[in-house]
Chains A and B, each alone.
Chain A
Amino acid sequence: MKSLIAEDDFSSRFYIKKLLSAYGQCDVTSDGLEAVMAFKLAFEEKQPYDVIVLDIMMPNMDGQEALKAIREFEQEQGISEKDEVKIVMATALDNPKDVFEAMYRGRCSSYLVKPFGEKKLHELMVELRLI
């Protein structure tokens, strides 16, 4: 399983990276813009990500915008909904408005409320059929 993290806070990024590295290659970026670039690059190299964890609040481009950009790109490429990359939104605040926006407009696959541990992440990976 190949994963990508977009998280602007180093300690959180370090923490999530360690959790996801247990499942395979895990790349990190520190904002939404970098994440979209990394996603496109991996797609072009035909080594796409299986899952992307996007923090919602980030500088340059936030998680919502990155989610939108990735879904738009997939549409342009003619990728069917079932082959879309799994995108998990991570939010520090249990903010229903953000989650609603991401789930229904942005079509994210799921969300994680920070802080989350190994168990929660594992359950989600199973739920998303990534492992």
Chain B
Amino acid sequence: MINTGPDKSIKHSDIVRLSDFMIEETGIHLGPDKQALIEGRLHKRMRELALPSFDVYMDYVFSPKGKSNEIIHLIDILTTNKTDFFREPNHFEYLMDSVIPEFKNEGEAGVRRALNVWSAGCSSGEEPYTLSILFNEFLENNPWFRYQIIATDISTRVLDMAKKGVFEIDKMSDVPLMYKRKYFLKGKGENSNLAKAIPRLKSNILFGRINLMEMPYPLDITFDVIFCRNVIIYFKKPVQEKVVNALSQKLRKGGYLFMGHSETLTGMDIPLERINSTVYRKL
């Protein structure tokens, strides 16, 4: 007889239970199409914890200790994070060609305030670093310009990656070579496939964990621009509306909200004016 070891299979009812738990705690809806992905990731987590079976893991998750300690890991495991530099470039173009000139004209005299940008759902950091590259470039011809990027995500795992600012060079194909040379240091030896963002690129980015379901958000500033792209697609419609309203509260009047290309806000009761299908403005 082949010894297959203890039972590590995951029952459908457990997935359902976990899905309900995730919706309740994070608003994230795990579609049935995600089952294989979830199973794979949960097995990995069980190995990390050296747990003998999935039942033991489930008992741990729903125990008081598990609820407070494991939830954050579960979120990390179950949320997918795909992101690229310069993703949806028309947003960055709109930002640099329309939003920034408007900001520039806002007040010529006196001390200028910094442009506040929130990258909500920043994942491993490609979005805030893209913003930082553009702002650094703009700054060279506009020394008056100051900016602050707040980059948040629910997952501490991806936030740690973002903070490090180390990326696989293979995944940086959308970054022009001149920017790679100017803003990143190539790794040596076994790290030669990696590039690390230079301190100047990181210095105006603040990273922190925020669960967009936990409102109001613990940020005491209002933003000129919020990027929240491909985040609310994981939420159900009523939750989406709540999140968009909460984000809007953090926008200054006339501030901009950039959404993912498949995230229409049509029909929602929100204090935003539609500029185009993915760009909105606070009324």
Task: Name A's B-contacting residues (CB within 8 A).
Answer: 9-12, 14-15, 18, 21-22, 114-115, 117
Contact = CB atoms under 8 A, between A and B. Distances in A.
A18 B174 contact: no
Interface stretch (B86-94, B108-116, B245-253): B86-94
10 contacts: A9-B89, A10-B93, A11-B92, A11-B176, A14-B92, A15-B176, A18-B140, A21-B141, A115-B176, A117-B178
A10 B89 CA distance: 6
Contact of A12 (B92, B137, B141, B176): B176
B179 A10 contact: no
Q: Which of B90, B175, B177 has the most CB of A within 10 A?
A: B177
Contact of A115 (B90, B93, B137, B177): B177
* Chain B binding surface, main DSSP class: helix
Given A10-B89, A11-B174, 5 more contacts: A10-B86, A11-B176, A14-B134, A115-B177, A117-B178
Interface in B150-189: 174-179
B137 A11 contact: no
A114 to B, nearest CB: 8
A118 B275 CA distance: 36
B71 interface: no
Contacts of B96: 14
A61 B17 CA distance: 54
In the complex, which of the residues B89, B90, B92, B140 has the most CB atoms of chain A within 10 Å of its own CB atom? B89
A115 B173 CA distance: 13
Nearest to A18: B137
Size bracket, chain B contacts: 10 to 19
A14 B137 contact: yes
A59 to B, nearest CB: 14
Contacts of A21: 141
A18 B141 contact: yes
A11, A12, A115, most chain B CB atoms within 10 A: A11
Contacts of A117: 178
B163 to A, nearest CB: 24
B177 A10 contact: no
Contacts of B137: 14-15, 18
Contacts of B177: 114-115
Contacts of A9: 89
A11 B141 contact: no
Contacts of A10: 86, 89-90, 92-93
A11 B179 contact: yes
Q: Report the 6 A-B pairs with minimum CB-CB distance, sorted nearest first.
A: A10-B89, A115-B177, A115-B178, A11-B176, A11-B86, A15-B176
Contacts of A12: 176
Interface in B90-105: 90, 92-93, 96
